[in-house]
Amino acid sequence: MIIKDYISELNKQFKTGIAREHSYRPALQQLMSAILTDMIVTNEPARIDCGAPDYIISRKSDNVPVAFVEAKDIEDSDLDGHKQHKSQFNRYKEALDQIIFTDYLDFHFYKNGELEDTIRIAQVEGNKIVGLTANFDKFISKLKSFADSFPQKITSAGKLASIMASKARLLADTINEVLKRENDSTSQQLLGQFEAFKRVLIHDITHESFADVYAQTIAYGMFAARMHDKTPEDFSRQEAATLIPKTNPFLRQIFQSIAGYDLDERIAWIVDDLALSFAATDMPKILKGYGSNSQHSDPMIHFYENFLASYNPKLRKSKGVWYTPTAVVGFIVRSTDEILKRDFNLSNGIADYSEIEHEVINDNYDKKIKGSKTTKIAKYHRVQILDPAVGTGTFLAETINCIYKKFSSNQGMWQGYVEKHLLPRLNGFEILMAPYAIAHLKLDWILNSTGYTHNTDRRIRVYLTNSLEEYHKDIGTLFSMWLSREANEASRIKRDTPVMVIIGNPPYNGSSKNNGEWISELMKSYKKEPGGKDPLKEKNPKWLNDDYVKFIRMAQYFIEQNGEGILAYINPHGFLDNPTFRGMRWELLRAFDSIYTIDLHGNSKKKEVAPDGSKDENVFDIMQGVSINFFIKTGKKKNNALGKLYHFDLYGKREYKYTFLNNNTITTIPYTELKPQAPMYFFVPKNFSLEKEYNSGFAVNELFKVCLLGPNSHRDDFAIAFNKEIAIDRIAKFLDKSISDCEIRELYSIKDNRDWQLSQARTKIKSSDIPINCLYRPFDSRWMLYGDYAFDYPRPQINDQLIKGNNIALITTRQTKEHFGAFVSRLPLGQHKIVTPYDGSYISPLYSFLETDNSLDNDEKSTVPNYRKDIVETIESRISK
């Protein structure tokens, strides 16, 4: 009878001929409410506008959502989301454990992303809807069992990470929609929190990025709470806000602010659904494997790696996030322990608990009165340890393990040692919310596993901050005050703490966005010729802008401020021998007494192999090779002297490298001492026996006045075409104002970056622009959309010279680990890697064509040689001998 009434109500609307999908919503809400008497069925337009499904089915007892319903118009043909609804339906299937897709007549039940059942209760016949009575009882039974079923037990780290990621992604999308409604009064609280983040922590944060931060905060805050919940069956977001450990006051406060009772209702439904998944999670089973010796045993890492892989792989790449293998971490920590013993005479090594007196700024002064700042003497532990890119806390966790082993025969002293001499010495900085939360979880977990008990509210000294920025003061809302408090405490470490040991795996990101005034000023010393006077003679020193280089410079600053210390990183090995890094290498030799580099190679971009021709593999799942580097400053070296340099090459397969690192430390490796020589100061062995003869010659960029890296579009699929007709069509569409930017993006998979924005690019293209025949690879000519409307770097200084007249250009590589190559082209160039697949190609035109100012013929040009006459004369004189 219930369903018959429902069909009757549908017919009233259907027969009008003007009814749309939303016209039938009240009838379906009444039907489900009548069948599910112990449930609440809600249909909230504000939620729907921000990305929620049409209906949420919640338990009356605790208002926890158990299922969702997305309705489309009657006789919709895509209820499984294979066509027009694919994007929306996939998002729901991935994020929501139980969802029903319906056209009000046909119901498709999905559980954990899989189609479980389909039941049709009516069909259209002519101009009316007719019930299929044979299916009524089945539908009622299925709907009840569907709503009553509890989420499947989650027993693996990978599964939990995947579920967290899908729900967090849906949450981030919803938050982003809420933020777009700037004039909506209900959005003001969230917008205020966004502004606080922007002022205090991440100054260039966008709505989309903040939505990521917000979603990750809720996901991992709830994870932290669930780890400490002894009664998971009633786990909820309200309970979660009280369970986050006091050892992480910032996450505790921020989570209570954004995930407690006052959470925006347009967002709350997803958080409640996430809480239901955590209630079904077997935490002891997930964490059972923690602490084993395999390279990837850490469940916290599985959460983070799998979470990012599912949530947003591009976020991982943009932040340079890569898990550091256990063997690498252990080697760096043990070696640091050995260096402290050997070079600093600290018998307890990394466990040293000696104290020093240090002058710090007294915070109790009136900041409004100029000159009122005072200092005071404070006591610090001498061996202060900092991981400035702490990630998930792997290095600090291994440091705890290394120190704990020293207490194996004296467990009774461990509790007091941790309180007095360990927690005050371990420091970490992290800018991403998810790893920040995991680092706290991991360190809290590992300390508990050693037998340590948190008897106080002493926090774990891992802070949410940008390591490459000075503190930006902010006061205001309660939310921003919590952020300010976190930033203030991080600032005290940056400003006052005498950091002696800096360890870690800094981010690798060639397109760094960390261009703040403080780090940019420090980087100037790396961008000078060796000796620190003249600017680096490089037309494009972009490799020096990589984040890992900035993290090395930042660490050097802290060590120099302290007067002694150790910098121990694993990072890309390009700085060891790339000519662009010569100023950086000299600066490091000036600053440190001794430098030890272990080149782990594994550069697939350079097709590296072992000296015997056997396979060489990277210790990471990345293409660029890496090295482990120790920079040691004892303070004994004379100021005008350069430090000593030691080098070791480690080739082979990944497991061999892991085994080698597990079985060695810095003191057992047979290093080769190098004698770094001007002007390059290479950190790798070089044969200088022919140096005199080599230096009597000339470089290609000395011979040619214009010698530049080739052009780069960063969107070759759009900027380069196989034939002229395709290129002409692209230009026409780009010029066509009736085609929106969104359509262009979708048509050509175009994305904005730092140097190119689609909306601006479309204002630059001219109706006179035509495709240009270009050399894309050796003997491979194509058609390019030439100009800054398609290219980030079109390089008109070289390409214009090849387009304007009868000319040729020499194409060479500056540095290569492949066979050296050279090429000559009459055509302009379509990209920056011509000679070899992996090494940048430098282009040197033979002539430059200059427009003549007094010419009556607009096409008349003045031809000027692009080569230096004195070098050509030297070549002529040598040939004639």
H, E, C per residue of 655-669: HHHHHHHHCCCCCCC
For 876, residues 6+ apart whose C-beta sits below 8 A from its C-beta are none
pLDDT in tens, 821-873: 899 999 999 999 998 877 789 999 999 987 655 443 445 568 899 999 999 98
Residue 182's SS3 state is coil
783: pLDDT confidence band, cut at 50, 70 and 90? Answer: very high
Q: Supply the DSSP symbol for 673.
A: E
Does residue 689 lie within any of the structural domains?
A: no
In this structure, are 233 and 344 located in the same domain?
A: no
HSE (side-chain half, CA atoms, 13 Å) at 273: 30
Does residue 539 lie within any of the structural domains?
A: yes
HSE (side-chain half, CA atoms, 13 Å) at 193: 23
pLDDT in tens, 101-124: 999 999 999 988 889 899 999 999
In this structure, are 527 and 553 located in the same domain?
A: yes
Does residue 203 lie within any of the structural domains?
A: yes
Measure the CA–CA gap between 446 and 401, rounded to whole angstroms. 8
State the average pLDDT over residues 731-753.
91
474: pLDDT confidence band, cut at 50, 70 and 90? Answer: very low
In this structure, are 502 and 360 located in the same domain?
A: yes
In this structure, are 360 and 236 located in the same domain?
A: no
374 CB neighbour count, 10 Å cutoff: 10
In this structure, are 413 and 561 located in the same domain?
A: yes
Measure the CA–CA gap between 278 and 212, rounded to whole angstroms. 20
CA 801 to chain centre: 40
Decide if 646 contacts 631 (C-beta within 8 A): no
Greatest extent of the chain over all pairs of C-alpha atoms, in Å:
110
In this structure, are 662 and 745 located in the same domain?
A: no
Decide if 707 contacts 842 (C-beta within 8 A): yes
Higher-scoring residue by pLDDT: 196, 72: 72
In this structure, are 89 and 111 located in the same domain?
A: yes
Structure tokens at 35: 């069948």
Higher-scoring residue by pLDDT: 591, 247: 591
208: pLDDT confidence band, cut at 50, 70 and 90? Answer: confident
> Which of 126, 148, 170 is the endpoint of a domain?
148
Please report the pLDDT score of residue 395 as a whole number. 97
Higher-scoring residue by pLDDT: 823, 476: 823
Structure tokens at 469: 């920025």
For 793, residues 6+ apart whose C-beta sits below 8 A from its C-beta are 709, 711, 712, 713, 755, 832
Higher-scoring residue by pLDDT: 770, 236: 770
Residue 6 buriedness (CB in 10 A; 0-12 / 13-18 / 19+): buried
> Which of 84, 115, 148 is the endpoint of a domain?
148
pLDDT in tens, 290-347: 444 444 456 666 667 778 777 877 766 655 556 789 999 999 999 999 999 999 999 9
Measure the CA–CA gap between 189 and 196, rounded to whole angstroms. 11
Measure the CA–CA gap between 716 and 756, rounded to whole angstroms. 14
Does residue 593 lie within any of the structural domains?
A: yes
Please report the pLDDT score of residue 292 as a whole number. 47
Name the helix (H) or strand (E) containing 245.
Answer: none
Does residue 685 lie within any of the structural domains?
A: no
The CATH number for 663's domain is 3.40.50.150
Q: Looking at the predicted structure, is the pLDDT value of residue 225 above 80?
A: yes
Please report the pLDDT score of residue 570 as a whole number. 98
Structure tokens at 322: 């890569």
Measure the CA–CA gap between 444 and 516, rounded to whole angstroms. 33
Q: In terms of residue numbers, what domain contains 340? A: 326-364+373-674
Query: What mean pLDDT, rounded, does the chain reach?
Result: 87
Does residue 606 lie within any of the structural domains?
A: yes
| 679 prior amide bond cis, ω within 30 | yes
In this structure, are 523 and 606 located in the same domain?
A: yes
Decide if 599 contacts 625 (C-beta within 8 A): yes
With tokens 């150790």, the residue in question is 566
Measure the CA–CA gap between 752 and 740, rounded to whole angstroms. 15
pLDDT in tens, 591-642: 999 999 999 999 987 778 888 889 999 998 888 999 999 999 999 999 889 9
Structure tokens at 462: 């891992």
387 CB neighbour count, 10 Å cutoff: 25
Task: Tell which residue, 437, 498, 427, 440, has the closest CA to residue 467.
Answer: 427
Decide if 462 contacts 443 (C-beta within 8 A): yes
Please report the pLDDT score of residue 689 as a whole number. 83
Does residue 285 lie within any of the structural domains?
A: yes
For 312, residues 6+ apart whose C-beta sits below 8 A from its C-beta are 169, 212
863 CB neighbour count, 10 Å cutoff: 15
In this structure, are 390 and 484 located in the same domain?
A: yes
pLDDT in tens, 792-829: 999 999 999 999 889 999 999 887 666 678 999 999 99
In this structure, are 663 and 723 located in the same domain?
A: no
pLDDT in tens, 24-71: 899 999 999 999 999 999 887 666 566 778 899 988 887 778 899 999
User: What share of the chain has pLDDT > 90, as a percent?
Assistant: 48
Beta pairing class for 644-649 and 672-674: antiparallel
CA 89 to chain centre: 27
Q: Supply the DSSP symbol for 815.
A: S
In this structure, are 82 and 47 located in the same domain?
A: yes
Distances (CA, A) of 111 to 150, 764, 867: 11, 50, 70
Does residue 694 lie within any of the structural domains?
A: no
Structure tokens at 795: 């390089």
Total domain count, the chain: 4
516: pLDDT confidence band, cut at 50, 70 and 90? Answer: confident
Please report the pLDDT score of residue 475 as a whole number. 47
pTM over 0.85: no
Measure the CA–CA gap between 236 and 193, rounded to whole angstroms. 23
Structure tokens at 819: 């066979």
In this structure, are 95 and 201 located in the same domain?
A: no
pLDDT in tens, 698-732: 889 899 999 999 999 999 999 999 999 999 999 99
The CATH number for 33's domain is 3.90.1570
